[in-house]
Amino acid sequence: MRRRLRLRGDAWITLLLGAALGLLLYAQRDSTAPTTSAPRAQGRAAPGPSPRLRVFQGPDAGPALQAYEEDTPEPPKPTPPGPFDFGRYLRAKDQRHFPLLINQPHKCRRDGVFGSGPDLLIAVKSVAADFERRQAVRQTWGAEGRVQGALVRRVFLLGLPRGTGSDQAEAEGAGTQTHWHTLLRAESRAYADILLWAFEDTFFNLTLKEIHFLAWASAYCPDARFVFKGDADVFVHVENLLDFLAARDPAQDLLAGDVIVQARPIRLRASKYYIPEAVYGLPAYPAYAGGGGFVFSGATLRRLAGACAQVELFPIDDVFLGMCLQRLRLTPEPHPAFRTFGIPQPSAAPHLRTFDPCFYRELVVVHGLSATDIWLMWHLLHSPRGPACAHPWPAAASSFQWSR
């Protein structure tokens, strides 16, 4: 009897100790939860159109594009960390010639000789740390080779990572070569698609990336029939793009995309898009194609390179290109299948998820996808059976205009 009471007491003690340990672990988990979850929430970028385009989004525009699954971690964006120093920009804005550190001089040679360039040259804006997105583009819509009989070539456009001087970039074999430059050199040897210039890769230096690419393409790819230029976070249905270009003459002027008219300069100092009247005094920008993705002909490539060399640099790249078009008296052509604001949520079906291959099947460009989403959408559209979709849905074929 005494032994039974002792065992019963031991059982109660064990039970109490177990309960106390459970409460202790529970309390410890609650106390550490904020410190483990907060960085993850801060580090994850919201899916949808990039901040550079979303800042102009009208009040009646749809919500951000929904991702199919959790986004991959975003790389550092080429944006200034604080208020833009316009004094420094104005002092340095006439510096428009920077050395080309990594080149692809044979990119547009067909059968080893010049004279017959690619049917489509794809140029993608990227940053040094964004290897994951470059791989997604290489393995999906940006793959080189023959597409519907057309020869496609690809380059990525990069500047120096912030805080890295050109002297460091050019120091090869001297023991001072930076880690990023070693990786970019290796990537260039593996894929032969990296173009690197000796200016810092910042948001306001995207204009430098614009003019340097136009100069490079004019020199090394003068016979390209058409050029598509866009961001690394877009999905491009290349087959639809080639169908659109099949009826166009590369010897005639063309620049088509998501055309934006009557966009007003941002005068709010707190905005990273702030443009003081001393820099641009007019009430509205000229018509321009959203920088997320647009296409232009070989004839326009050569004319744009000359015009942009004469237009004063402006710190927003797609607006700057609109200024170059204005100088040429060339109006950009709106195309409803270029969606640089993403796919808006249908008002009649707010529950509908817009990440669906049936939405993408009829489009050319959709902006604001993670590397995972780009890879997945491409495979959904190019599977042997293809998506089971109903009739194509209509799209308004007019320029986007901001209300006054």
235: CATH:
3.90.550
Least confident of 67-81, 161-175, 374-388: 67-81
- pTM of the predicted structure, to 2 decimals: 0.74
Determine, yes or no, domain membership for 403. Answer: no
Determine, yes or no, domain membership for 76. Answer: no
State the burial class of residue 172 (Cβ atoms within 10 Å of its Cβ: 0-12, 13-18, 19+).
exposed
Residue 359 binned pLDDT confidence (cut-offs 50, 70, 90): confident
Q: What is the pLDDT of residue 116?
A: 76
CA 290 to chain centre: 11
The neighbour count for residue 89, using CB atoms within 10 Å, is 15
What would the 3-class secondary structure string for 318-386 be?
HHHHHHHHHHHCCCCEECCCEECCCCCCCCCCCCCCCCCHHHHCCCCEEECCCHHHHHHHHHHHCCCCC
- Residue 195 predicted with pLDDT over 80: yes
State the burial class of residue 219 (Cβ atoms within 10 Å of its Cβ: 0-12, 13-18, 19+).
exposed
Percent of the chain with pLDDT over 70: 67
Q: Report the mean per-residue pLDDT for the chain.
A: 77
Segment 142-159, tens digit of pLDDT = 999 999 999 999 999 999
State how far the Cα of 228 lies from the Cα of 274, in Å rounded to an integer. Answer: 28
Least confident of 81-95, 274-288, 301-315, 372-386: 81-95
Whether 292 contacts 49, CB under 8 Å: yes
Segment 320-342, tens digit of pLDDT = 999 999 999 999 999 999 999 88
Determine, yes or no, domain membership for 398. Answer: no
Q: How many domains does the chain have?
A: 1
Judged by DSSP in three states, 14 sits in helix
Determine, yes or no, domain membership for 297. Answer: yes
Q: What is the pLDDT of residue 178?
A: 67
Between residues 172 and 333, which one has the greater pLDDT? 333
Determine, yes or no, domain membership for 23. Answer: no
Q: What is the mean pLDDT of residues 342-357?
A: 78
Q: What domain range is 112 assigned to?
A: 86-163+178-336
CA Rg value for the chain: 26
Q: What is the pLDDT of residue 278?
A: 85
Whether 252 contacts 297, CB under 8 Å: yes
Q: What is the pLDDT of residue 48?
A: 35
- Residue 124 predicted with pLDDT over 70: yes
Of 84-88, 144-148, 340-344, 358-362, give the range with the top mean pLDDT: 144-148
State how far the Cα of 90 lies from the Cα of 385, in Å rounded to an integer. Answer: 55
